[in-house]
Amino acid sequence: MSTEDRGEANAHNWMDQDAGPLVRSFALTGGRASPGSESFELLTYVVTVPWSSGYSGLHLQPEHLSILEHAERPASVAEIASHLSRPLGVVRVLLNDLQEMGAITKYSPTPTANRPDDRILQAVIDGLRAAG
């Protein structure tokens, strides 16, 4: 095999037959490692905002479009990361991009201090079962 043939054989080592082209995380985020000032906790829900002329002309990466499609109904950050099969840090950066564009809205979970006690919830469930 000539040097030229070996070069052509190695030209597509970045391709994976099952997964398609592999893109490193830093390429997806433009080298950014943190999502910026916004916090996207695992249980934070995001939902797509209806398209407007404000960001419809922007170039979005396929991952951004996948997030927008998946978040047409509220979806948690953990759910989106699983759907994309991308690291959580990468997904948080992409979500921050979309939020800055006005393409998504986020809903943070209620802090645990404001949640009812488990005993109260169990009493309500027991009461509903008894009434039914």
pLDDT digits (tens, 9 = 90+) for 86-115: 888 889 988 988 998 889 999 887 666 666
0.75 exceeded by pTM: no
Q: In which residue ranges of the chain is pLDDT below 50?
A: 3, 6-7, 20-22, 53
Alpha-carbon distance of 30 to 83, in angstroms, equals 21
Distance between CA atoms of 114 and 101, rounded to whole angstroms? 31
Q: Which domains are present in the chain?
A: 24-112 (1.10.10)
Rounded to the nearest angstrom, the gap between the alpha carbon of residue 67 and the centroid of all alpha carbons in its chain is 6
